[in-house]
Amino acid sequence: MLAHKGFDGVIQGATLSDLIQMECLALSTRAVRVAGSGTSGRLFFTGGQVVHAEVGELKGEVALFEMLRWATGSFTIEEGVRPIEESIQRDWHNLLLEAAHHADEGTVTLPGSVVPLPPPKSTADLMNEAFNDSEVVHAAHFSEDGTLLASKGEDPESLQCTFAYVVQLLRHVGTSLGAENLKEINLLAPEQKALCLVDEKATTVMITTPKANFTNLAKKLA
């Protein structure tokens, strides 16, 4: 049996995420065998995208996320090796962002064990997490048809009516300027700020203190 061309390696101080970024930015088309946590798996790259992963009986994103949990390991580059299937469709940026998100939440995996990813948070959970931020004073989340879905503070109906009008007005202005896809509105005042996030199904508005971090609040709703 012919051995695959390539090399073995350990990148000191780097993570598997770093290796994936390097392979994708280099537009690689090849396989990488990864050993760690008492087992091994394989990643397949095509044109700078992760298209398949496998660890034991695990395949696809589940296998990729399992390998990304390993704290240490080594790798072997395998040129000319192609996947028998393409089980991963998402862009590599999104995959690494999701893996980092789960790592920030403190997901722990014992060596050699396989822990399924936690289920995604519901819209209600995301709203509660954002609205419970100490810097959020008033908030409202409402659908395109005007149904109030979640709120915080006094008189959320007035807040909803005000920003429903603001959103429609700015959509009209945006259309006339060739910028139809309104996504976010930031309003600043000496004593308060307002963040309004818009998508095709609903609008979320939060009135905050001047200290609020809009970037963090938006991430909680992502």
Instruction: Quote the mean pLDDT of the chain.
Output: 82
What is the rounded distance in angstroms from the CA atom of residue 110 to the CA atom of residue 73? 15
Domains of the chain: 8-104 (no CATH), 123-220 (3.30.450.30)
User: What is the 3 state secondary structure string of the chain?
Assistant: CCCCCCCEECCCCCCHHHHHHHHHHCCCCEEEEEEECCEEEEEEEECCEEEEEEECCEECHHHHHHHHCCCCCEEEEECCCCCCCCCCCCCHHHHHHHHHHHHHCCCCCCCCCCCCCCCCCCHHHHHHHHHCCCCEEEEEEEECCCCEEEEECCCHHHHHHHHHHHHHHHHHHHHHCCCCCCCEEEEECCCCEEEEEECCCEEEEEEECCCCCHHHHHHHCC
Query: In the prediction, which pLDDT does 55 show?
Result: 92
Query: In the prediction, which pLDDT does 112 show?
Result: 39
What is the rounded distance in angstroms from the CA atom of residue 54 to the CA atom of residue 29? 16
Percent of the chain with pLDDT over 70: 84
Query: In the prediction, which pLDDT does 60 show?
Result: 93
End-to-end Cα spacing for the chain = 49
What is the rounded distance in angstroms from the CA atom of residue 39 to the CA atom of residue 56? 8
Q: CB within 8 A of 1, min separation 6: which ones?
A: none
- Flag whether the pTM goes above 0.75: no
What is the rounded distance in angstroms from the CA atom of residue 88 to the CA atom of residue 109? 22
What is the pLDDT averaged over residues 165-187?
82
Evaluate if residue 46 carries a pLDDT over 90. Answer: yes
pLDDT one-digit tens code per residue, 105-164: 555 443 334 444 456 666 777 778 889 899 999 999 998 888 988 899 989 999 999 998
pLDDT one-digit tens code per residue, 1-32: 344 454 455 555 567 888 899 889 989 899 99
